[in-house]
Chains A and B, each alone.
Chain A
Amino acid sequence: MNTLQTLNSLWEDTGFYNASWGNIVMILIGILLVFLAIRYSYKPLLLIPLGMGIIIGNIPFLHEAAYRTGIYQDGSVLNYLFFGVQKGIYPALIFLGLGAMCDLSPLISNPKLMLLGAAAQVGIFATFLGAMIFGFPMAESAAIAIIGGADGNTAIFLTSQLANGLNSTGGGIAVQNLIGPIAIAAYIYMSLVPVIQPPIMKLLTTKKERLIRMKPPRTVSKFEKILFPLLGLLLSAFVAPASLPLLGMFFFGNILKESGLTKQLATTASTILIDIVIILIGLTVGASTQADVFLKWESILIFVLGAIAFMIATAGGIIFSKVMNIFLKKENRINPLIGAAGVAAVPDSARIAHEIGLSEDPTNHLIGHAMAPNIAGLIGSAITAGLLLGFLL
């Protein structure tokens, strides 16, 4: 090989030679996310790993080269890291951390608020039907619909099982690999909770309803705190065994915290471990948006359907709380704003319900109440994911 051929081969190996417009667009999106996170402190824990992942995943390279770089190339470093997403390992570990982090007292002290978390799951099932109408196969429709749960981890878990590019549809055609678009849509809608939910909350409630003061939650005993994860695990696992990787880890994490005897384990799960997993999941999900896989019309449709699912879920929680108020005594009435926290975006949607309540009455603190449907939404969306897996696999 002469010098000219060597130089030519080197040139063909560079990103400049292999760049496509898709790569450039995705890199710009990645830079935008990093910019938003750093300049406006907008969800930095989520957007910096995601944005950097998008940039890393879209650096153009020669696909035929002997070395392995791309996230979808077997044996590459990124591919190994992506394994945790593809097999649903990272979501399970994040659920462990969440369990060790969450105080379930608001839920135990006012158990009827669990129904709001269940009601908000209507977004998932309605969008499941909607995605079917738009021609997505059943497995892909279920994976898209789970965006309505507003929990990125559940969405990744279900998609990794149903729309992973490996299974086949009823007609024997392989399902698409939708992990990238669905994970990105779910995470983006989670960070857009303060934008999407308030208009729906204001539209569906009257000023009088937003001013409702709820009865302060009662003190919860340690016995109840320990019993809840045990019974919650047994009940949810018996109803939807496929949700076990998520809910098993969640309740395990919670009992580590509540037992009071395994403080180190709970602290590790809720700090160091969850941080490591967030780094890996953010980076690899971002890197999975390689332009040739991600830039498709289906991705745009997934984003639209995901937004609809999220809006229906929010509305479902609010409307259900209003229906509950019809049957409740005056002193037990629920502020319908907390119905919007029935989606699983913990704790963002609870915080939004609290802030809107404060904007109406600066002395009405709803955060303690809103956390209950929020956690119930997390449990509900994991049960829903388990049920969909049970139906479709």
Chain B
Amino acid sequence: MKTLSITFDPSLIDHYTLVIAITGYCIVLIALAIMAYFFTRLHTLQDFLSKRRISEKGNSGKEVQLKVTMTGEENAAIAAALYLFFSELHDEEKYVMTIRKVSKTYSPWSSKIYGIWNTMKHW
């Protein structure tokens, strides 16, 4: 291991280093803020467009189906209910195939101990 030579000199931070640190942080913050702003507005725009589409269809006299927006909690409740419902179903066969183990009863005819090759060793 090399000898320990740790310096501690705040003057090593020059003007350029500070510019990199401050500008870099601001850029990351602004970039993600722009993305956040855009997607917040996008949702509002989407709502506005869907309402407009509905009203246009309404004017044409056709039947309009409203777009239902559900919260995550409602989705979770529906998913849980479906899961419980399907886990209660028993009228279907399982799709997993298994191999049933068959235990054979012992017979001297199939014995390996008294097989012909073992007996030959004693000759």
A sample of 10 more A-B contacts (CB under 8 A), given A108-B39, A221-B46, is A115-B36, A122-B25, A128-B20, A135-B9, A217-B71, A218-B72, A219-B69, A219-B72, A296-B1, A379-B32
The SS class assigned to the A binding surface is helix
Asked if B27 contacts A387 (CB within 8 A), the reply is yes
Hey, what's the 0/1 contact readout for B69-87 against A, CB within 8 Å counting as 1? 1111101000000000000
Is A384 part of the binding interface, using a Cβ–Cβ cutoff of 8 Å? yes
Q: What residues on A are CB-neighbors of B46 within 8 Å?
A: 221, 223-224
Nearest B residue (CB) for A170:
B16
Hey, what's the 0/1 contact readout for B12-25 against A, CB within 8 Å counting as 1? 11000110111011
Is B43 part of the binding interface, using a Cβ–Cβ cutoff of 8 Å? yes
Interface residues of B (CB under 8 A from A): 1-10, 12-13, 17-18, 20-22, 24-25, 27-29, 31-40, 42-43, 46, 69-73, 75
29 inter-chain pairs at a CB distance below 8 angstroms, sorted by A residue, are: A111-B39, A112-B36, A112-B40, A115-B32, A117-B32, A121-B28, A122-B25, A125-B21, A125-B24, A125-B25, A128-B17, A128-B20, A128-B21, A129-B17, A132-B12, A132-B13, A133-B13, A135-B9, A216-B72, A218-B69, A219-B72, A221-B46, A295-B1, A297-B6, A379-B32, A380-B32, A384-B28, A387-B28, A391-B20
CA distance A109 to B42 in the complex (A): 11
Nearest B residue (CB) for A141:
B17
Asked if A217 contacts B17 (CB within 8 A), the reply is no
Asked if A224 contacts B33 (CB within 8 A), the reply is no
Asked if A227 contacts B42 (CB within 8 A), the reply is yes
Q: B26 to nearest A CB, angstroms?
A: 10
Of A122, A135, A236, A388, which is within 8 A of B12 by CB? Answer: A135
Asked if A114 contacts B24 (CB within 8 A), the reply is no
Hey, what's the 0/1 contact readout for A217-247 against B, CB within 8 Å counting as 1? 1110101100110011001100110000000
Asked if B2 contacts A296 (CB within 8 A), the reply is yes
Asked if A134 contacts B7 (CB within 8 A), the reply is yes
Is A102 part of the binding interface, using a Cβ–Cβ cutoff of 8 Å? no
Asked if A297 contacts B2 (CB within 8 A), the reply is yes
Q: B47 to nearest A CB, angstroms?
A: 11
CA distance A301 to B35 in the complex (A): 36
Asked if B29 contacts A119 (CB within 8 A), the reply is yes
Q: What residues on A are CB-neighbors of B25 within 8 Å?
A: 121-122, 125
Nearest A residue (CB) for B32:
A118
CA distance A129 to B32 in the complex (A): 23
Is A198 part of the binding interface, using a Cβ–Cβ cutoff of 8 Å? no
Of A22, A232, A295, which is within 8 A of B35 by CB? Answer: A232
Q: What residues on A are CB-neighbors of B72 within 8 Å?
A: 109, 216-219, 368
Q: What residues on B are CB-neighbors of A298 within 8 Å?
A: 2
Q: B109 to nearest A CB, angstroms?
A: 48
Nearest B residue (CB) for A239:
B31
Q: A391 to nearest B CB, angstroms?
A: 5
Is A376 part of the binding interface, using a Cβ–Cβ cutoff of 8 Å? yes
Asked if A129 contacts B71 (CB within 8 A), the reply is no
Q: A357 to nearest B CB, angstroms?
A: 16
Nearest A residue (CB) for B2:
A296
Asked if B28 contacts A383 (CB within 8 A), the reply is yes
Of B13, B29, B35, which is within 8 A of A129 by CB? Answer: B13
The 8 closest A-B pairs by CB, nearest first: A135-B7, A111-B36, A111-B39, A118-B32, A114-B36, A125-B21, A216-B72, A114-B32
Scoring B6, B18, B20 by chain A CB atoms within 10 A of each residue's CB, the highest score goes to: B20
Scoring A108, A117, A129, A232 by chain B CB atoms within 10 A of each residue's CB, the highest score goes to: A129
